[in-house]
Amino acid sequence: MTNKIKVLTLLAGLFIGTATFATEIEKFNSEIFMDAQKAGKKIVLHYHADWCPTCRKQNNLLSELVKDSKYKDLIFIQANYDKDTEIKKKHNVKSQSTLIYFKGETEVSRSLGQTDKKVLADELNNLAVK
């Protein structure tokens, strides 16, 4: 699926109020992120750096977890730690491998460097039921 189709699919889900079932982690796009926040969606924002081994491990774990249907209402977004500097400053992120969990525009929790699959699943479960 092309990026344009992914963006349109995600936006359609936001605007008509249906959950877009996530099967992968989307690259950060400020318009989609802000629209999802305004729509009150539950968002997992991962600050990832390609050179970071912890980030790669997190990405592998999140790529598995995102396919679980119990997380169908969550939106998974990966921000580039080195390039998406404006959003990084806005969220006061000081280190790659940071995960921030949002319900709408409200940050509900964050973790740094977490690579335990069970702990990540617990964090996603907490967000999913909020």
pLDDT at 125: 95
Q: Please compute the mean of the pLDDT values over residues 66-77 and round it to a whole number.
A: 93
Residue 107 confidence (pLDDT): 97
Span 5-29, pLDDT tens digits: 454 455 545 444 444 445 689 999 9
53 has a pLDDT exceeding 90: yes
> By percentage, how much of the chain surpasses pLDDT 90?
79
Sheet of 106-112: strand order equals 26-27, 74-80, 42-48, 98-103, 106-112
Tell me if residue 82 falls in helix, strand or coil. coil
Average pLDDT, the chain: 87
- Report the interhelical angle of 53-65 vs 117-129 (nearest 10°): 50
Distance set, CA 54 to CA 6, 58, 109 (Å): 27, 6, 19
Per-residue pLDDT band for 130 (boundaries 50, 70, 90) equals confident
- Lowest pLDDT segment from 69-73, 89-93, 118-122: 69-73
Output the pLDDT for position 23.
66
CA-to-CA distance for 5 and 29, rounded, in angstroms? 14
Stretch 92-96: mean pLDDT: 96
| CATH 3.40.30.10 is the classification of domain 3-129 | yes
User: Helix, strand or coil for residue 65?
Assistant: helix
